[in-house]
């Protein structure tokens, strides 16, 4: 295989991006655990690149002759074939050609579009997603399922050859017509010189027709044009295909990773916020001195913000956290005067003459405190998720949006339920 310098550059780049992905310290262990399978995939991909291996896979409907085609290319029956559909049950790899700079491997896959074969189809799609070059095998004009699958693969930028197998069953004229139809249907998806006819396991000499009633006699396979085209591709762009494929794979995984990391951080952050909400709700409800209430409340909120900053890997000091809480609470007070007022009024009532405090109970006051910490938590989380920023619109716009989107009553109900147990526990 010729190793062009462009191919080598691509290889080096792909290797680097795969290694970065594996070693990225920002990925929480939990996320790594969830994506174990994908990580194994990246490791295999890296291993493959380092050994200069190129993977060619077959893909297609059940029974179109995928396994037969690989056997014909290999020149021996290494894969099991059968007239019954669903013969190949797992994706299996075999060595095709060994060479100094690496080797080419052939991968057989289960057929798609088999009734009850969803798991096998998923395995086939996964193998296709990882192969460097795909032979999409068909035996006639494309079915709707085949067109869909072909589109998906082309969209995912998988390099494709369309292989029309079993041409021994067609006359020359039928074969030409079929090729025209295939070219028409795959226009824009597959280049015309990448549509190739073969007879992987012919019943009669290619070009002749099977005679009814006669037992099939062994006839030599005809896959030479496909072999030539494959070698042509491998020699000119094999390494580049492998490198680009690995980079694409790495790109897809980093996208998934990014989404999972955000989700995981969100989940953790919401758990932290709820814990602090309860802590503050309880503190405010059981502490009868309103000035101390507010001081304690601010301390609890600042503690929560410090905690959240660590989840997002943007650590803050307590003092910084205190300033952030002040910004949030100021905006909140301006935007939701009434609820904030209730909080203050009830604090005042608690200090004031005994009889009045029955109207607004300590529990209600705790719930309001819970609610305000909840809002502070949502705002702080938003601030960290945006990389310690309020964005162009500033904190007021963010606060307005948060207050708009939160269902106040359901949070207050949640507060009441969360606090009930803690308060009766604390008092009893
Ligand atoms: N006439 C004819 N029959 C073929 C040709 N290639 C394969 N077959 C037959 O088609 C049937 C299915 O072949 P397989 O190679 O098992 O097909 P497959 O796509 O691997 O099938 P699954 O593994 O079940 O998805 C077998 O009976 C083959 O002998 C061909 O070129 N001409
Ligand atoms: Mg098979």
Q: Which of 122-126, 128-132, 136-140, 281-285 has the lowest mean pLDDT?
A: 281-285
Q: What is the pLDDT of residue 383?
A: 96
Find the mean pLDDT for residues 15-40: 84
Cα separation, 303 vs 325, in Å, equals 10
Which tokens is 177 given? 């017509």
**What is the share, in percent, of the chain residues with pLDDT greater than 70?**
85
Ligand 1 site, residue 185, Cβ cutoff 6 A: no
Ligand 1 site, residue 202, Cβ cutoff 6 A: yes
Cα separation, 370 vs 55, in Å, equals 58
Closest ligand (CA of 83): 1
Ligand 1 site, residue 63, Cβ cutoff 6 A: yes
Ligand 1 site, residue 222, Cβ cutoff 6 A: no
Ligand 1 site, residue 91, Cβ cutoff 6 A: no
* CATH classification code of 5-256: 3.40.50.300
Ligand 1 site, residue 166, Cβ cutoff 6 A: yes
Residue for token pair 């909080």: 343
Q: Tally the C-alpha atoms within 13 A of residue 95's C-alpha that lie toward its C-beta.
A: 5
> Above 60 in pLDDT, residue 210?
no
DSSP state of 371: H
Candidate of 60, 70, 72, 82 to mutate for ligand 1, largest count of ligand atoms within 8 Å of Cβ: 82
> Above 60 in pLDDT, residue 343?
no
Enumerate residues 6+ apart whose C-beta is below 8 A from 101: 1, 3, 52
Report pLDDT digits (tens) over 366-395: 777 888 899 999 999 999 999 999 999 899
Q: Which of 61-70, 134-143, 155-164, 242-251 has the lowest mean pLDDT?
A: 242-251
Ligand 1 site, residue 201, Cβ cutoff 6 A: yes
Q: What is the pLDDT of residue 197?
A: 97
Atom of ligand 1 nearest to the CA of 165: 31
Ligand 1 site, residue 237, Cβ cutoff 6 A: no
Q: Which of 201-205, 242-246, 333-337, 352-356 has the lowest mean pLDDT?
A: 352-356
DSSP string, 193-238: GGEEE-BSS-SS-TTS-PPTTPPP-----B-HHHHHHHHHHHHHHH
DSSP string, 248-270: HHHHHHHHHHHHHHHHHHHHHHH
Candidate of 113, 134, 198, 200 to mutate for ligand 1, largest count of ligand atoms within 8 Å of Cβ: 200
- C-alpha of residue 112 to centroid of ligand 2, in Å: 11
Q: What is the pLDDT of residue 94?
A: 94
Q: Specify whether the CB–CB gap between 117 and 88 falls below 8 A.
A: no
Residue 363 — very low, low, confident or very high, per pLDDT cuts 50/70/90? low
Residue nearest to atom 24 of ligand 1 (CA): 86
Residue nearest to atom 5 of ligand 1 (CA): 201
Residue nearest to atom 21 of ligand 1 (CA): 63
State the average pLDDT for the chain: 85
Q: Specify whether the CB–CB gap between 396 and 403 falls below 8 A.
A: no
Q: What is the pLDDT of residue 352?
A: 43
**Cα 97 from chain centroid (whole Å):** 33
Ligand 1 site, residue 66, Cβ cutoff 6 A: yes
127, 183, 157, 159: which is closest to 234 by C-alpha?
Answer: 159
Ligand 1 site, residue 67, Cβ cutoff 6 A: yes
Atom of ligand 1 nearest to the CA of 80: 16
Q: Specify whether the CB–CB gap between 285 and 369 falls below 8 A.
A: yes
Residue nearest to atom 11 of ligand 1 (CA): 83
Candidate of 138, 201, 220, 226 to mutate for ligand 1, largest count of ligand atoms within 8 Å of Cβ: 201
Q: Tally the C-alpha atoms within 13 A of residue 149's C-alpha that lie toward its C-beta.
A: 26
92, 76, 75, 203: which is closest to 139 by C-alpha?
Answer: 203
Domain ranges of the chain: 5-256, 263-427
Q: Which of 16-20, 97-101, 201-205, 412-416 has the lowest mean pLDDT?
A: 97-101
Ligand 1 site, residue 207, Cβ cutoff 6 A: no
Ligand 1 site, residue 83, Cβ cutoff 6 A: yes
Q: Specify whether the CB–CB gap between 280 and 50 falls below 8 A.
A: no
Ligand 1 site, residue 139, Cβ cutoff 6 A: no
Residue nearest to atom 9 of ligand 1 (CA): 65
């Amino acid at each position: 295989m010729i190793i062009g310098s462009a191919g080598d550059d691509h290889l080096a780049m792909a290797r680097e991006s795969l290694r970065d992905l594996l070693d990225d310290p920002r990925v929480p262990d939990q996320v790594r655990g969830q994506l174990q399978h994908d990580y194994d995939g990246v490791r295999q991909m890296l291993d493959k690149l380092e050994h200069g291996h190129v993977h060619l896979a077959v893909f297609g409907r059940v029974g179109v002759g995928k396994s037969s085609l690989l056997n014909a290319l290999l020149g021996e029956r290494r894969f099991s074939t059968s007239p019954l559909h669903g013969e190949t049950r797992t994706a299996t790899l075999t060595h095709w050609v060994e060479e100094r700079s690496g080797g080419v491997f052939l991968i057989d896959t289960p057929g798609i579009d088999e009734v009850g074969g969803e798991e096998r189809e998923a395995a086939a799609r996964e193998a296709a997603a990882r192969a460097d070059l795909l032979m999409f095998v068909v035996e006639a004009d494309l079915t709707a399922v085949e067109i869909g699958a072909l589109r998906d693969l082309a969209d995912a930028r998988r390099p494709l050859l369309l292989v029309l197998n079993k041409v021994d069953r067609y006359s020359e004229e039928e074969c030409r017509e079929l090729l025209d139809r295939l070219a028409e249907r795959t226009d824009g998806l597959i280049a015309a010189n990448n549509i190739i006819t073969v007879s992987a396991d012919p019943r009669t000499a290619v070009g002749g027709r099977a005679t009814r009633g006669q037992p099939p006699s062994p006839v030599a396979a005809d896959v030479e044009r496909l072999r030539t085209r494959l070698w042509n591709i491998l020699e000119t762009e094999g390494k580049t295909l492998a490198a680009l494929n690995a980079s694409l794979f790495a790109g897809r995984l980093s996208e998934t990773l990014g989404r999972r990391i955000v989700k995981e951080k969100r989940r953790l952050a919401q758990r932290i916020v709820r814990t602090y909400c309860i802590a503050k709700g309880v503190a405010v409800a059981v502490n009868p001195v309103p000035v101390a209430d507010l001081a304690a409340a601010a301390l609890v909120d600042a503690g929560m913000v410090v905690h959240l900053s660590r989840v997002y890997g943007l650590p803050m000091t307590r003092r910084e956290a205190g300033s952030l809480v002040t910004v949030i609470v100021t905006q909140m007070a301006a935007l939701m005067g009434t609820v904030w007022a209730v909080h203050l009024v009830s604090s005042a009532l608690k200090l004031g003459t005994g009889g009045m405090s029955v109207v607004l109970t300590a529990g209600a006051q705790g719930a309001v405190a819970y609610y305000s910490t909840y809002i502070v938590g949502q705002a702080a989380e938003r601030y960290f998720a945006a990389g310690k920023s309020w964005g162009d619109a500033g904190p007021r716009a963010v606060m307005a949006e948060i207050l708009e989107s939160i269902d106040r009553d359901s949070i207050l109900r949640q507060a009441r339920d969360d606090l009930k147990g803690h308060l009766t526990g604390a008092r009893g």
